């Protein structure tokens, strides 16, 4: 009889947690400029997202977009010269904008102890972050599953391989969005 009581309590806690996951959507976002090789000798930038101290979160999707070529504030630079020009989009000439050139790695903390991607090689951002470089397109988040406890960090490291030049220093401006579910503190 006592075992049944504990099982009911466990099932009740699991049910409450599952209901919270449906009711409490949560998003973590970051925006970061990644410098071009032509303007900076270190074309690497990092975005670290930290889980809040009020609750754990479960990440189920990763989406983002990249604006290139852009200035440090993320505004497009229309008269830039890029290594990878974007092809025609619906008959519109978009040649001064880059189609690729950015690579990324993901780590579970900023010390690179727990790598969630290949620790030696960078992955092409165009294959992971959709819509990526596509102008005016949206799509479903990339399936990315990770449970973060309170205070845990998730670091995204970007490498810009574009050597394009322009009137101002050029960047690839990345905006990340993690689709999450937030859990109340008592459901540890």
| Per-residue pLDDT tens digits for 11-61 | 877 777 666 655 567 889 999 999 988 777 788 999 999 988 877 888 999
What is the number of other CB atoms lying within 10 angstroms of the CB of residue 82?
24
In the block, residue with structure tokens 């904008």: 97
Mean pLDDT (the chain, rounded): 79
Q: Cis ω on the peptide bond leading into residue 149 (within 30° of 0)?
A: no
Q: Above 80 in pLDDT, residue 110?
A: no
Q: Above 90 in pLDDT, residue 165?
A: no
Q: Supply φ then ψ for residue 52, to 5 degrees.
A: -65, 160
Q: Supply φ then ψ for residue 15, to 5 degrees.
A: -65, -45
All residues at 6 or more sequence positions from 56 whose CB lies less than 8 Å from its CB, including other chains = 147, 148, 149, 150, 182, 183, 187, 188
Q: Between residues 94 and 157, which one has the greater pLDDT? A: 157
Q: Are 63 and 142 in contact (CB under 8 A)?
A: yes
The DSSP code for 47 is E
Q: What pLDDT shows up at residue 2? A: 45
Q: What pLDDT shows up at residue 131? A: 67
Q: What pLDDT shows up at residue 185? A: 57
């Amino acid at each position: 009889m006592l075992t049944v009581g504990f099982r009911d309590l466990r099932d009740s806690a699991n049910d409450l947690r599952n209901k919270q996951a449906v009711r409490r959507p949560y998003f973590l976002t970051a925006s970061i400029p990644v410098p071009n090789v032509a303007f900076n000798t270190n074309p690497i930038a990092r975005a670290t997202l930290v889980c809040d101290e009020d609750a754990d979160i479960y990440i189920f999707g990763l989406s983002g977009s990249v604006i290139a070529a852009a200035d440090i504030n993320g505004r497009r630079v229309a008269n830039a010269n890029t290594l990878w020009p974007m092809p025609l989009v619906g008959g519109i000439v978009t040649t001064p904008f880059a189609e690729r050139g950015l690579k990324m790695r993901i780590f579970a903390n900023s010390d690179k102890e727990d790598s969630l991607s290949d620790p030696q090689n960078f992955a092409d951002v165009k294959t992971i972050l959709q819509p990526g470089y596509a102008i005016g397109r949206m799509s479903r988040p990339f399936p990315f599953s990770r449970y973060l406890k309170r205070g845990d960090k998730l670091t995204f490291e970007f490498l810009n391989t574009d050597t394009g030049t322009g009137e101002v220093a050029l960047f690839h401006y990345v905006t990340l969005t993690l689709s999450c579910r937030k859990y109340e503190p008592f459901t540890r």
